[in-house]
Amino acid sequence: MRSFLKTKTAIVLALSVTAGTASADGHGGVEVLHWWTSGGEAAALNVLKEDLEGQGIGWTDMPVAGGGGEQAMTVLRARVTAGNAPTAVQGLGFDIIDWAEQGALANLNDVAAAENWDAVIPAALQRFAKVNGEWVSAPVNVHSTNWVWANKSVLDANGIAVPETWDDFVAAMSTLKAAGITPIAHGGQAWQEATVFDGVAMSVLGPDGYKAAFIDLDESVLGGDGMKEAFDRMALIRENVDDNFSGRDWNLATSMVINGEAGFQMMGDWAKGEFLNAGKVPGEDFLCFRFPGTSEQVTFNADQFMMFDQGGAVSDQQAALATAILSPSFQSAFNVVKGSVPARTDVSDEAFDACGKKGMADLAAAASSGNLFGSMAHGHANPASVKNAIYDVVTAHFNGEYDSATAVEELVDAVSIAQ
Ligand code: GAL
């Protein structure tokens, strides 16, 4: 019932906002639907807005709050159903393929050819940006989910070194708990639990197991002992979050680490945008490291802007937006602020801070060693139906609805029904 009400509110909101934006769009600008509403996200989005405004292209903002983009996708479906798709829409992985296959997206092949996208955009991203030989979206960045963010002075004051193994991490959580500090800052929303699960599952199953479970949907791995161990670790993490975690937005959880209320947050590198927006410096105020046991792996998601077909060829404004997004200078300026790394392989890491440089180096190393995988939590491993089935089980288990042995059985069933 709650989610039905939320959906209904989102649709009403979308339709009323649409009515107000028609004229702005009619004056040759772009209307951009996105979920970048936290402080760090908004600061990054501003880099894009200013770039376009500098070219004389108006920007009509269509923000739909909700990390991970679920609510934004609900609004998008309502807009498309009403025959009023926005010009450009933030999208992830399999959702992009889905919209392209429905024929909803404009063909960007001319822009891509003029800007040589085939040569500079990595294959892992092209897989979701180019559908049946047609470029349909412009990749903005590459994020990854298997990160941990820590408050450095909290760790120092409690004699905690960066944990390298799961056992180190368990010990660090106990030390913080004993000191009266919330070990893990967490927001109890299904996508956030799934984000944590990306790292936890990778650390237990290893790269082959992660791929077998979440990309190949191999029942023997989905239902195996390793998966039960991953759920057991999630249960331990659950014991180390505060009492008010339920429903908390991810950026509020990040604030708990920023202000020293909590030690760690397991979250994608959009969390870094919040630290930077609060004036914090990596290595001095906060630390970034890969979830223990996943130092060689990267579970990635790439934000892209899908250009919705407005009837006919891609518009000049859409082409200008796509060109701006992929320009090397924008790729550097935007991703420095956002916490992500560039969607092109030829952008220098010079302007990036220590975490950004590490993110770029990790991505390149993982891509060349076969350790780069699409994030289950952020729609790069499976279509939404399977992703949502996994979310349901992970979040029900996290909230204590069933134990790990049952979660494993539920996971096998839910994934098989969703396919
Ligand atoms: C992700 C998205 C990121 C970040 C995050 C939280 O899905 O890729 O850019 O915005 O959600 O909102």
Per-residue confidence band for 4, with pLDDT thresholds at 50, 70 and 90? very low
Higher pLDDT pick, 46 / 28:
46
Per-residue confidence band for 312, with pLDDT thresholds at 50, 70 and 90? confident
pLDDT > 50? residue 264: yes
Nearest residue (CA) to ligand 1, atom 11: 68
Q: Is 147 in contact with 291 (CB distance < 8 Å)?
A: yes
Per-residue confidence band for 8, with pLDDT thresholds at 50, 70 and 90? very low
7 burial level (CB within 10 Å; 0-12, 13-18, 19+): middle
The pLDDT assigned to 349 comes to 98
Which two tokens mark 48?
A: 């894009």
> H/E element holding 399?
none
Instruction: Classify domain 144-300+360-418 by CATH architecture.
Output: 3-Layer(aba) Sandwich (3.40)
Q: Residue 388 C-alpha to ligand 1 middle, in angstroms? A: 16
Instruction: Classify domain 25-142+303-354 by CATH architecture.
Output: 3-Layer(aba) Sandwich (3.40)
pLDDT tens, position by position, 341-378:
999 999 999 999 999 999 999 999 999 999 999 999 99
Q: Give phi and psi for 373, each to the nearest 5.
A: -130, 145
Mean pLDDT value of segment 166-185: 98
The pLDDT assigned to 19 comes to 32
CA distance 415 to 382: 10
Provide the whole-model pTM.
0.94
Closest CA to 221 of 209, 203, 233, 208: 209
HSE, CB side, 13 Å, CA atoms: give it for residue 76: 30
Mean pLDDT value of segment 16-43: 70
Nearest residue (CA) to ligand 1, atom 4: 270
| Beta carbons within 8 Å of 233's beta carbon, 6+ residues apart | 166, 200, 203, 204
HSE, CB side, 13 Å, CA atoms: give it for residue 299: 34
Q: Residue 328 C-alpha to ligand 1 middle, in angstroms? A: 21
pLDDT > 80? residue 3: no
DSSP per-residue string spanning 79-128: HHHTT---SEEEEEHHHHHHHHHTT-B---HHHHHHHTHHHHS-HHHHHH
pLDDT > 60? residue 22: no
CA distance 269 to 39: 14
| Pairing status of strand 137-139 against strand 303-307 | antiparallel
Per-residue confidence band for 28, with pLDDT thresholds at 50, 70 and 90? confident
Q: Is 65 in contact with 75 (CB distance < 8 Å)?
A: no
> Is 139's C-beta closer than 6 angstroms to any atom of ligand 1?
no
pLDDT > 60? residue 96: yes
> Is 391's C-beta closer than 6 angstroms to any atom of ligand 1?
no
Nearest residue (CA) to ligand 1, atom 12: 67
The pLDDT assigned to 339 comes to 98
Which two tokens mark 188?
A: 């109890």
Per-residue confidence band for 5, with pLDDT thresholds at 50, 70 and 90? very low
pLDDT > 80? residue 187: yes
Which two tokens mark 328?
A: 């090397």
- Looking from the CA of residue 67, the nearest atom of ligand 1 is 12
Q: Residue 275 C-alpha to ligand 1 middle, in angstroms? A: 15
pLDDT > 80? residue 325: yes
The pLDDT assigned to 129 comes to 98
* Summary mean pLDDT of the chain: 94
Q: Percent of the chain, pLDDT > 70? A: 94
pLDDT tens, position by position, 336-347:
999 999 999 999
Instruction: Please report, for the chain, the start and end positions of each structural domain, with discontinuous segments joined by +.
Output: 25-142+303-354, 144-300+360-418
pLDDT > 70? residue 13: no
Same topology, domains 25-142+303-354 and 144-300+360-418? Answer is: yes
